[in-house]
Amino acid sequence: MRRACLLLFLATVGLNWPQLPFNARFTDVVFVAAAIGILAQQKHWSPRLMPLDVAIAGYLAGSAAAAIFSPEPGVSGVELIRHLYVVAIYGVIAVAVRQGFAVTVASGLALSGAALATLGLIAFIVKTFFDVGATALTPVTTLPYIGQTLRLRALTASESMFACVLAMSIPFAVRHPFVLAARTRVAGSGVLLGAAALLTYSHSVAGVAVSTLITAWRSLHSHLTLRAAAVVLTILVVSGLNLAATIAVRSLGASSLRDNSVFQYGVDHGRAQVAGVEIEYQTMSYLRIKQVAWDAFMSRPLIGIGLDRFHSVTEIAFAEGRLTAPYRAIDPHSTFFGRFAEAGLIGGITLIVLWLAIAAAVQRLWSGQADSWIVIAVTAGIAGTFVNSMNADVMNFRFLWVALGLVRGLTVSDDRERA
């Protein structure tokens, strides 16, 4: 029963359904059942604190400070509870791994993206050929340069969120022993998951590119040219997609080529001279939101504006004409910018320390279990998620805390083997 509940929780961790109070979803209900079963079987409670645990405690302390000194302590207090909840996921998964569920956790993370990718591609085909679809699966949006575009959301919160789920899931799916047992499965899973990621048309494909490169790194050890090409391609993808989230070029000099598409992501227009060529561009919302976050941080640099109060500054930015109507009440969409805005220097520094501790914990894991497919997969997934932190609030992602719990549990197991 524990294994079944745990697997169901992980397989549904990306679902944005149904809309329950306090931003809860179906997967959270399943998590409670899984947690009760796992914790009930834990007989010995004498955990040894690790640097990662201490860093997470510091991160929570930074959140608590931002909640206590918030102009709206009730709003910030609810957000602090959400922070405590995702850390509870970390703790339960760590315990589950100690109980022997490491492969179950890894398999669940593989399913979290593979199941949604399969569902999304089926919905994409149905929409393409029969014009039958639903916004929750395959929305149609207007994008710069390409206009009206059918995209994959696959029952997640957004197309970007689906790509973030895939950035974590793909390494576990393609490195899973069941998939590696047959070349056809490897090829099939690669095509399925790769197509799903590309059809999101999201900047978060940058994280998918990074996690895929790390996953395939050892397989390319005897193909130095191919490995170098993969590195270059990944750098280009990450750079290009982050640039695309910053500005959209509308015209170049006297060229007849011009992008006249109207999309919601643009917030204002500008012109610039580059090497004698006049470029007309449109500022993208992701850049403007970061600018708003920076201004919010500078207004209260020590403790920030308060957890979950970013909407208050986007409302002001909208009133000033800096943001358009779709972004008058929007989340930071950037992990570090958002953290510094809402929690100030105290919260921002604790977040940086946490990510340094994550890197150290992964490095420690590699020193003892470098040949483990799970270690390779969790490293790739965390790295891809970190890359996506520039344009996503990744600290709210349940699956990131699952991965961190997996690292924690595996590290304890490795220490036991050394002893």
pLDDT tens, residue by residue, 293-350: 999 999 999 999 999 999 999 999 999 999 999 999 999 999 999 999 999 999 999 9
What is the average per-residue pLDDT within 373-396? 97
Look at residue 419 in the predicted model and tell me its pLDDT.
32
Cα separations (Å) of 70 from 41, 251, 300, 341, 357?
A: 39, 44, 11, 12, 27
* pLDDT given for residue 395 in this prediction: 98
C-alpha 344/C-alpha 289 separation (Å) is: 16
pLDDT-derived band at 417 (thresholds 50, 70, 90) equals: very low
Residues 407 and 361 sit within 8 Å (Cβ to Cβ): yes
pTM (2 d.p.): 0.95
Residues whose CB is less than 8 angstroms from the CB of residue 93 and which lie 6 or more positions away in sequence, other chains included? 105, 401, 402, 404, 405, 406, 408, 409
The percent of residues above 90 in pLDDT, for the chain, comes to: 87
- Select from 120, 97, 141 the least CA-distant residue to 15: 120
Output the pLDDT for position 414: 53
User: Does residue 416 register a pLDDT over 60?
Assistant: no
DSSP state of 135: T
Which of 80-94, 116-130, 241-255, 386-400 is least confident?
Answer: 241-255
Query: Alpha-carbon distance 67 to 56, whole Å?
Result: 17
Please report the pLDDT score of residue 171 as a whole number: 98
Residue 222's pLDDT is what?
84
Cα 327 from Cα 267, distance rounded (Å): 9
Number of helices followed by number of strands (H, E) in the chain:
15, 5
Each residue of 271-282: pLDDT tens digit?
998 888 899 999
- List, for residues 111-141, the tens digit of each pLDDT value: 999 999 999 999 999 999 999 999 999 999 9
* pLDDT score of 369: 75
Q: What is the pLDDT of residues 9-39, one digit of tens each?
A: 999 999 999 989 878 999 999 999 999 999 9
- Please determine, for residue 385, whether its predicted confidence score (pLDDT) is greater than 60: yes
- The domain segmentation of the chain, as residue ranges, is 2-241+352-418
